[in-house]
Amino acid sequence: MSEASFETIISLIRSDTTKIEDILTHTEFNKFIRTENPILLEFLSKKSTILEMSSFCFSLDKISSLDNEQITIGAINVFTSSVAKVFLIFLRSSVFAKVLHDFLKSDSSLNPRLCGYFLRILSQQIRWGNSEFFLINNDIGELLIKRMQNLAIQELIVLIASRHTLNVFSKINLPFELSRIALLNNEDSGAAISLLVQLYDNLSDESPILKQFFNDNVVSNIIEISCTNKSQLVSSDCMNVVRNMVELGFGVESIIGKWTDKLLITQNNINVLSVSAIHILNVNFIDIFKLFFEPNSCSLLHNACSQILINLNVNDIENILLIENFVDKLIMCHGTDKWCPHMMQVSIVFSKNPCQCKCLQTSEWRAFVKAYLIPVLTVLENQYGGPMPQENDDYFTTDSVTDSDDYYSEEEEIYIGQDDEMDHSSDDEP
């Protein structure tokens, strides 16, 4: 920074006629801040300076003018400065704390852009800790909830809730309050649901607010939201919260009773909600796979079946094979618009199963394996791209390339073992 620029900014600060915008928009001002000049620090600490800079961040009249955009950016940069002595001025300022509080109480906090500035400033203060804003105001939690429709405020609520040292929501059972609002079906309900899911996903295991989720009334409300909301995404997200709580040992048997008809998956009730509730109701995997070929299964149930399949043992898989016509239906689906990647996964698992189930001994199944599964397994069970060529290795010679048409002979018996190895019984012995 040049000496001339340094002196110019000092002169602007000392002048009684200088406007704050002239200082904030000076081309060398950001560099000047890093000097932590005592004259600058004294200037920034003045009540008039704080109020004037704040007006460019939280006044609708000021931000509506494009001419003020650079001034607003300059003010935000000062309020969130990484220079310690500068930032601490605003972190500890009761004047600035009142500005932030008055903004949150006012109708200006309905504006998304202004809330974005508010989030940017406060998130920086939260990271540094001990903000005067949180120390002198005891109604912040209630005010934030009133403004939770704004996405920036939602992000701020999650950030505050994740800090154990900030007791902003100590007077509120936040999960219960949000679940109660969510069931009112008013303009705040969508935001309350979004916050419920965000909080559960983002809070640490030690969080007091997370522990408030594990309550019969809260869980009952979340289940009711899942069962009554018209959005499939909302139903699924809320039910996944309940599912996770059940996996952690929370019992829902006494809560879920009246919703069982909506949640239990059956031939006539295959939907996002019932699929999400499979693990909550501990539905037997056989009952789930019996629905595998139902019309709605491909788009909704197959992914769940795929996840279940991963954890099954040989005996469990054999029980699926015993479901009437399961293998025949699987073969019939191939080559049609009903076929999906999950069916390929199931087919591969069956082909690797060592059991002697009759449905895997038919000529139809053997032909299906040879025509469609062996080529896929050949790729999956070998090193992708082949082995790395060694020095002086004639890897890409014609002798090393196998003709895929001759890979398996017509008379060959193919068995894919439990250890994922292919046994070619007709191979010549060395």
- Alpha carbon dihedral 37, 40, 42, 47, in 10-degree steps, equals -160
Residue given tokens 């995404």 in the structure block:
233
What's the pLDDT score for residue 429? 44
195 close to 157: Cβ distance less than 8 angstroms: yes
| Two tokens, residue 399 | 């002798």
What's the pLDDT score for residue 27? 84
185 close to 226: Cβ distance less than 8 angstroms: no
Q: Is residue 390 part of a domain?
A: no
Q: Are residues 96 and 179 in the same domain?
A: no
Q: Are residues 359 and 371 in the same domain?
A: yes
Q: Are residues 7 and 143 in the same domain?
A: yes
List the one residue out of 221, 137, 146 whose CA is nearest residue 180: 221
Instruction: State the Rg of the chain over Cα.
Output: 33
CA 414 to CA 420: how far, in whole Å?
Answer: 13
Q: Is residue 388 part of a domain?
A: no
CA 406 to CA 409: how far, in whole Å?
Answer: 6
What's the pLDDT score for residue 64? 77
Q: Is residue 83 part of a domain?
A: yes
- The total number of structural domains in the chain stands at 3
Of 147, 172, 197, the one marking the end of a domain is 172
Of 230, 256, 283, the one marking the end of a domain is 283
What's the pLDDT score for residue 386? 61
34 close to 83: Cβ distance less than 8 angstroms: yes
Cβ density class 58-75: b for 16+ within 10 Å, e for less: beeebbeeeebeebbebb
Domain enclosing residue 378, as ranges:
288-383+410-424
Q: Are residues 11 and 149 in the same domain?
A: yes
Q: Is residue 403 part of a domain?
A: no
Q: pLDDT per position in the chain (430 positions), as tens?
A: 567 778 888 888 888 888 888 888 888 888 899 989 999 999 999 999 999 999 999 998 888 776 788 899 999 999 999 999 999 999 999 999 999 999 999 999 999 999 999 999 999 999 887 899 999 999 999 999 999 999 999 999 999 999 988 889 988 999 999 999 999 999 999 999 999 999 999 999 999 999 999 999 999 999 999 999 999 999 999 999 999 999 999 999 889 988 999 999 999 999 999 999 999 999 999 999 999 999 889 888 999 999 999 899 999 999 999 999 999 999 999 999 999 999 999 999 998 888 888 899 999 999 999 999 988 888 877 766 666 666 555 444 444 334 434 333 343 444 344 444 444 444 444 4
What's the pLDDT score for residue 207? 92
Of 244, 263, 283, the one marking the end of a domain is 283
Q: Is residue 391 part of a domain?
A: no
Q: Are residues 218 and 303 in the same domain?
A: no
Q: Are residues 268 and 322 in the same domain?
A: no
Q: Are residues 22 and 162 in the same domain?
A: yes
Q: Is residue 394 part of a domain?
A: no
What's the pLDDT score for residue 156? 97
Q: Are residues 44 and 148 in the same domain?
A: yes
251 close to 244: Cβ distance less than 8 angstroms: no
Q: Is residue 404 part of a domain?
A: no
Q: Is residue 398 part of a domain?
A: no
Q: Are residues 163 and 277 in the same domain?
A: no
Q: What is the pTM of this model?
A: 0.78
| Two tokens, residue 207 | 């969080």
208 close to 164: Cβ distance less than 8 angstroms: yes
Q: Are residues 274 and 315 in the same domain?
A: no
What's the pLDDT score for residue 186? 93
Q: Are residues 108 and 214 in the same domain?
A: no
| Two tokens, residue 332 | 């019939």
- Alpha carbon dihedral 383, 386, 392, 398, in 10-degree steps, equals 140
CA 259 to CA 119: how far, in whole Å?
Answer: 39
What's the pLDDT score for residue 62? 83
> Which helix (H) or strand (E) covers residue 188, if one does?
none
Q: Are residues 207 and 307 in the same domain?
A: no
List the one residue out of 53, 81, 82, 87 whose CA is nearest residue 68: 53
